[in-house]
Chains A and B, each alone.
Chain A
């Protein structure tokens, strides 16, 4: 158990809909990363937050947004969903400063 909790584990939704993925980082970790992994692909970095503030942005679509709350949990919002958004979405947390990252088990999103 990494200590990082992601909910829900599975999500099936229709095109055009909006979903929210939730991540609770390890206790004490200030930094949260979001990644997208399509089938048999590598991890695409989406966005990083550190102590509530956006720290770095990757290939995140404008239809996607994220935030980190004062209790340090984070949410990734995906809207106007397309079939191509079907993927595993991972959250990872670190204390900060380039330390090892601890990953959640992911949310498998299927858009139909």
Chain B
């Protein structure tokens, strides 16, 4: 079963607006990562947030982590058409096993 669940499944906004995607997970984690995938391509790592961190920034990206609610959010500010892609969260769900488990993803469309 999937560890992470992204919400919403699809999001369509106008260029320049902010996009927020959420991820919920089930078990305790060491870290949570966000990845981006352009259609049919390999995933590209965006940002990693550790379980003892609450917020992290990278350029136009802002990630928050709430371990008490087992949830994370990814905010993309001032969106651009080039941000159109699918976004996935991933968790290392099992200590020791270190497997990286992905959610179903949010498909983001930025309209010019």
How far is A45 from B97 in the complex, measured between Cα atoms in Å?
13
Smallest CB separation, B41 vs chain A (Å): 6
Q: B13 at the A/B interface (Cβ < 8 Å)?
A: no
Give residues in A with beta carbon < 8 Å to B. 2, 4, 31, 33, 35, 41-43, 45, 48, 50, 55-56, 58, 88, 90, 92, 94, 96-106, 108
Residues of B whose CB lies within 8 Å of any CB of A are: 2, 30-31, 33, 35, 40-45, 48, 88, 90, 92, 94, 97-105
| A55 engages B99 (CB within 8 Å) | yes
A-B contact pairs, 9 of them (CB 8 A): A45-B99, A55-B99, A98-B30, A100-B33, A103-B44, A104-B42, A105-B41, A105-B42, A108-B40
How many A-B contacts are there with CB distance less than 8 Å?
Answer: 70
A98 pairs with B42, CB closer than 8 A: no
List of A residues within 8 angstroms of B102 by Cβ: 35, 42-43, 45
A96 CA to B97 CA, complexed, in Å = 11
Contacts of B92 in A (CB 8 A): 98
Task: Given contacts A100-B33, A100-B48, A102-B45, list 10 more A-B pairs with CB under 8 A.
Answer: A2-B42, A50-B98, A55-B98, A98-B100, A101-B90, A104-B42, A105-B42, A106-B40, A106-B42, A108-B40
B94: chain A residues at CB < 8 Å are 56
Report the 3 A-B pairs with minimum CB-CB distance, sorted nearest first: A103-B42, A42-B104, A56-B99
Which single member of B30, B41, B100, B104 contacts A106 (CB below 8 Å)? B41
Q: In the complex, are the beta carbons of A92 and B43 less than 8 A apart?
A: yes
B98 lies within 8 A of A101 (CB): no
